[in-house]
């Protein structure tokens, strides 16, 4: 039994989509969320810089005593997860994998769409995953240009968001994609917009965060790291930005955690 918190890290607010799944799947675990905030968005930054930022963040969470860290950011995972695993061989680390595998298994049209940041799409991790599972399947990718900025400024429910998402998805829908993978943890906050756009079509939008929560649970069991059954969980929020941003993290986590629209 181990009552130390599980660390959850993202460039900003996006990792809260993973945080809420972790909270749901692991109600006995304390969670320490770090949303960088100061350097967000990461999506168009050079790989080396993202790696440096990811290291700084994971160093911080481990120094705070986290027993396991979830890198709830596809961009940071793609740039740094191998490096982080070497740096922390004794701490289990969970990264984001683009959900290309389930998409390829379930597609009927043979066309799968992936939305992610520019940096994730040109990364080795994505290329490897697409090559492994996408054989014989057309994988159409598009960067979610402006999506992160919309979420970071609470503009998900605006005509501008609708326009921006419609533009990014047009190509993959035209090609006949029937599975669309959300390859950035900010994007599930735009779920109501995605759902409106694909309404009436036989298209599934895949949010990988429940699978990440399941993987975290498995690793806690494997390493004997579960919290004691009588442990009251705590939820803390930290940032490299300012106090106002920290408050936004907390507010968004709890505002969206239980609403069906946010699922
Ligand atoms: N939420 C992040 C991801 O999953 C990063 C977005 C960004 O900072 O550009 O890729």
Do 84 and 113 sit in the same domain of this protein?
no
Residues lining ligand 1, Cβ inside 6 A: 10-12, 14, 40-43, 73-75, 117, 120, 148, 184-186
Residue 259 has pLDDT above 70, yes or no: no
Residue 153 has pLDDT above 90, yes or no: yes
Do 23 and 118 sit in the same domain of this protein?
no
Q: Tell me, yes or no, whether 65 lies in a domain.
A: yes
66 carries an active-site annotation? no
pLDDT score recorded for residue 27: 96
Q: How far apart are CA 172 and CA 126, in angstroms?
A: 17
Do 214 and 164 sit in the same domain of this protein?
no
Q: Tell me, yes or no, whether 169 lies in a domain.
A: yes
Do 32 and 120 sit in the same domain of this protein?
no
Do 117 and 180 sit in the same domain of this protein?
yes
Do 172 and 245 sit in the same domain of this protein?
no
pLDDT score recorded for residue 257: 47
pLDDT class of 263 with cuts at 50, 70, 90:
very low
Query: Could you report the per-residue pLDDT of 186-231, keeping only the tens digit for each?
Result: 999 999 999 999 999 999 999 999 999 999 999 999 999 999 999 9
Do 19 and 89 sit in the same domain of this protein?
yes
Residue 262 has pLDDT above 50, yes or no: no
Do 66 and 141 sit in the same domain of this protein?
no
Residue 2 has pLDDT above 90, yes or no: yes
Do 109 and 200 sit in the same domain of this protein?
yes
Residues 6+ apart with CB under 8 A from 24: 213
Catalytic residue among 66, 104, 164, 184: 184
pLDDT score recorded for residue 135: 81
156: containing domain:
100-206
Do 92 and 217 sit in the same domain of this protein?
yes
73 carries an active-site annotation? yes
Please identify, by atom number, the ligand 1 atom nearest to the C-alpha of residue 43.
9
Do 71 and 127 sit in the same domain of this protein?
no
Q: Tell me, yes or no, whether 263 lies in a domain.
A: no
Ligand 1 centroid to Cα of residue 12, in Å, is 8
pTM of the predicted model as reported, rounded to 2 decimal places: 0.94
Query: Could you report the per-residue pLDDT of 122-152, keeping only the tens digit for each?
Result: 877 788 888 888 788 999 999 999 999 999 9
Q: Please report, for the domain that includes residue 156, its CATH number.
A: 3.40.50.1860
């Amino acid at each position: 039994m181990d009552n130390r918190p599980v660390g959850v890290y993202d460039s900003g607010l996006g990792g809260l989509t993973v945080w809420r799944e972790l909270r749901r799947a692991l109600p006995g675990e304390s969670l320490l969320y770090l949303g960088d905030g100061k350097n967000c968005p990461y999506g168009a930054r050079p790989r080396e810089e993202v790696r440096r930022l990811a290291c700084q963040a994971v160093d911080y969470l481990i120094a705070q005593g986290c027993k396991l860290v979830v890198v709830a950011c596809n961009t940071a995972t793609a740039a740094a997860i191998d490096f982080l695993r070497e740096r922390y061989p004794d701490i289990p680390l969970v990264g984001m994998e683009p959900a290309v595998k389930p998409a390829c298994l379930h597609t009927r049209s043979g066309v799968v769409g992936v939305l992610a940041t520019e940096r994730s799409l040109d990364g080795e991790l994505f290329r490897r995953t697409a090559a492994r599972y996408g054989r014989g399947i057309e994988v159409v990718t598009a960067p979610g240009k402006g999506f992160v900025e919309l979420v970071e400024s609470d503009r998900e429910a605006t005509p501008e968001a609708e326009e921006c998402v419609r533009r990014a998805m047009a190509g993959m829908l035209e090609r006949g994609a029937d599975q669309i993978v959300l390859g950035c943890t900010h994007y599930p906050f735009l779920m109501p917009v995605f759902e409106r756009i694909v309404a009436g079509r036989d298209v599934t939008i895949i949010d990988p965060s429940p699978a990440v929560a399941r993987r975290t649970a498995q690793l806690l069991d494997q390493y004997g790291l579960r919290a004691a059954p009588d442990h009251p969980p705590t939820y803390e929020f930290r940032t490299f930005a300012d106090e106002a941003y920290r408050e936004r993290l907390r507010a968004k986590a709890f505002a969206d955690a239980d609403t069906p629209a946010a699922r």
